[in-house]
Amino acid sequence: MPAWSRSTASTWRGAGIGDRSRARLHSPSGSAPNAMTSRSPSAQELNAVLERTPFLAAYGMSVVSCSEGECRVLLPFRRSLERPGGIVSGMALMGAADVAMWLAIMTLRGVDEQWVTSDMKSTFLRRAANENVVCHASVLKLGRRTAYGTVDSAGGVSGLVAHHVVSYAKASPATT
């Protein structure tokens, strides 16, 4: 099994945050990381996944864009998700970041595989008040059973409001 990594170490050195988030996953053998599916799901297909997931309905999230190993999810401002003063709650930001990474993994492995969060670290940098937030997820490493990546959450006015580091594990089929 090929080791997945960022395109080159030089991509990291001296690169700004925007440059790092656009670096691509690759395989030393040259094969595509999306070995499980013939193509990446579209934003429309990922939005259908969100619609089929009942516990996400209260958030009103939608996929803005996606490409292999990346996904941008919109978390619209809702009064039901605010803290005092119109601040988007940390719980909502973490939930949206988690979903963005889940969908980013699907761009590489397809919508049928089941993946669950195994670890998440969130750093809140500033508040997002009365505004929508876009979470940009990037898969940094994808293995057979684990995935690792980052999510940057940004408001249109506030800019970068949170940075998240997320690990996922491939779920085993449920037994009855």
**Is residue 76 one of the residues assigned to a domain?**
yes
Task: State pLDDT tens for residues 62-75.
Answer: 999 999 999 999 99
User: How many domains, in total, are found in the chain?
Assistant: 1
Helices assigned H by DSSP within the chain: 9-12, 17-22, 43-51, 90-109
Domain with residue 102: its CATH number is 3.10.129.10
Range of the structural domain that residue 112 is part of: 39-170
**Is residue 144 one of the residues assigned to a domain?**
yes
Task: State pLDDT tens for residues 17-61.
Answer: 344 444 445 433 344 444 444 578 999 999 999 999 999 988 999
Decide: 131 and 158 in contact? Cβ < 8 Å. yes
Confidence of residue 172 (pLDDT cuts 50, 70, 90): confident
Task: State pLDDT tens for residues 101-156.
Answer: 999 999 999 999 899 999 999 999 999 999 999 999 999 999 999 999 999 999 98
**Is residue 165 one of the residues assigned to a domain?**
yes
